[in-house]
Amino acid sequence: MLGNTDETPAQQPLADFGSADFDNTEFEPSAAAYKDEPLLTESKHRFVMFPIHYNEIWQAYKAAEAKFWSAEEIALSEDAEGWETLSGKEKSVLLQILLLLATNDSFVGNVQSRVANEIQAAEPRAYYGFQIMQKNIHLELLNALLGLFLKDDASRDLIYETISSFPSLHRKIAWVERHIHKSHEHFSVRNVALAIYSKIFNSTLSIIAVHLAAKVPKYERSALPGFLHGLIKMHHDYHHYYELSTILGDLLVNKVPVSKVHAMLQEAVDIEEELVKDLFSYAGNAIALAGTTVDPAELKRYCKFVADQTVVGLGFEKVFGVTDPLPWATRIIESETIKIKSKTPVTAIQKKAEVPANIESAFTLDDDF
């Protein structure tokens, strides 16, 4: 099971980064536009959950809650042995990915807090609170894996210094600061940006990690079964975060201009493609994982494929028109998902019937306690 780690690498401060050269044209509707947004309008019922007003958000939240998992559920006993079967290059790449995923979760957890404070409806606030809690679980698991694979502080510092030098990481942080954390634009822009972050900025890292963790040459078993199990669970969590953004996007009155969406999307794809370049540059521009050479061009196409999925879910047309270049990754995720479902007991939350949106949950002194 999980081991404890003394440090949290993702919470260490990154080196300062300069301002990127970008078009910072903002979408700034009038102050009156906020009054037209029921989700953003303060109400005296803000902290009262029932009766449910936004049933679709509530059901999405309950569905995510029913799939709740803890870091202690992920058995890592076999991963230590599997780790020793990896080559030095494979180990280096995987450690960089682990620390980058931890950095992603740590950073976006902070910006989720800002978005959660802006929205006034109780249902999405509950869902955001649940997501922020899940980020802590992700960090706990990722840090446990780092503690399992890294035996000394010097090795951890070396990996940290490596990713801190990635230009793509600093561009990503600047993108999040500009479009979410320090943005003065309408909430709808931050909502779209959060959707893009949840889908695109984890896609390439997750796919490389899935490939490495799932396959062992000449053996029909996973090299790192615990890590793969946790990675798939995190993958589904990211999808839930994205799903909330799509629901909110449908409910918001003010819609983000298509040009703005495409600009944010294109920049996110450019950053993720640069991340592939950064990873490969430190691995000699070629990575052979689990006996298979990973093609950086395919990873870049996969990022565009995910980007198209992202904007279609948000109600926009495809931008790149790319088909899935890595169907094997989808098959691995589906296969592992089936395994997880078969081992997961049905919870009381899953058994509970839906709460109808039109039922008034009144309190009376006649009820038995």
Element holding 35 (H helix, E strand): helix 31-35
Element holding 330 (H helix, E strand): helix 327-343
CB-side neighbour CA atoms (13 Å) of 81 = 7
| 177 DSSP 8-state letter | I
Q: Which residues contact 87 (CB under 8 A, 6 or more apart)?
A: 288
The per-residue pLDDT string of the chain (369 residues; one tens digit each, 9 = 90 and over) reads 443 333 333 333 333 323 333 334 444 544 555 667 888 877 776 666 778 888 999 999 999 998 888 889 888 888 888 888 887 877 888 888 888 888 887 776 667 777 777 888 889 988 988 988 888 899 899 888 988 888 777 877 888 888 888 898 889 989 988 888 888 888 899 999 999 998 888 777 777 777 666 654 444 567 788 888 888 888 888 888 899 999 999 999 888 999 999 999 999 999 999 988 888 876 666 565 555 667 788 888 889 999 999 999 999 989 999 888 777 776 777 766 666 555 544 444 444 434 444 434 333 333 443
Q: What end-to-end distance do the CA atoms of the chain give, in Å?
A: 40
Closest CA to 125 of 234, 188, 49, 67: 49
* The overall pTM is greater than 0.85: no
How far apart are alpha carbons 174 and 183 in whole angstroms? 11
pLDDT of residue 212: 67
Long-range contacts of 261-265 (CB under 8 A, 24+ apart): 261/192, 261/311, 261/314, 261/316, 262/311, 262/316, 262/319, 263/23, 264/175, 264/179, 264/189, 264/192, 264/193, 264/196, 265/196, 265/200, 265/307, 265/310, 265/311, 265/319
CA distances from 284 to 87, 92, 105, 366 (A): 14, 12, 28, 73
pLDDT of residue 85: 81
Q: What domains are there in the chain, each with its CATH number?
A: 52-345 (1.10.620.20)
